[in-house]
Amino acid sequence: MSNSEQPTVILDAARIRRSVQRIARQIHEDHHLSDHLVIVGIDGQGTVLADRIASELISITKGNVRSLVLSLHKDDPLNHAISLSEDGATLEGAAVVVVDDVLNSGRTLLYGVRHLLGFSPRSVAACVLVDRIHRRFPIRADYVGKSLSTTFKSHITVRLAGGNKDVALLS
């Protein structure tokens, strides 16, 4: 991209807010009978998104909704520790939704889900704000804010800074 080219806004603050609300309603619809729902955000922007989704869910459901953080090294998950912000026993028998900002190759979500399966959740679903549709690994998002077919050289940046500062950019 040359210096004169500006990134393209693919989601502005209002569309991100509506996406979070829609995703929360979809999760509620799919898990309204679940008495234990855990939203697990991938550390970073995934955590911010997960917290927002969990807040929306708490406002529309009477069920037990928890929000946790999963920390992993996105570039080299096999050679770095993966950790959960609380004891993994919290996930036993729970409906779990793993949340990240962008689904690129699928590797981050795949390793995250792999780690969570060791705690015997009842079910696991994946949620992303932007799905680039370029997967090298067999994973898909069950809940998506926006699907976007891009080139491999394109880059998606999500900034969840709050209020009108939220934006998803394509460069």
Distance CA(160)–CA(73), nearest Å, equals: 20
Q: Report the side by side order of strands in the sheet with 123-131.
A: 83-84, 64-71, 36-42, 95-103, 123-131, 143-147
Cα-based distances in Å from 168 to 45, 54, 90: 11, 20, 32
Say if domain 13-151 classifies as CATH 3.30.1360.80: no
Q: Where are the domains of the chain?
A: 13-151
pTM more than 0.85: yes
Write down the pLDDT at residue 38.
Answer: 97
What pLDDT digit, counting tens, does each position of 14-66 carry? 999 999 999 999 999 999 888 899 999 999 999 999 999 999 999 998 778 99
Write down the pLDDT at residue 1.
Answer: 46
Of 9-23, 130-144, 145-159, which one has max mean pLDDT?
Answer: 9-23
Q: Is 33 in contact with 62 (CB distance < 8 Å)?
A: no
Mean pLDDT of 126-149: 90
What confidence category does residue 4 fall into, taking pLDDT thresholds of 50, 70 and 90?
low
Between 105 and 21, the higher pLDDT residue: 21
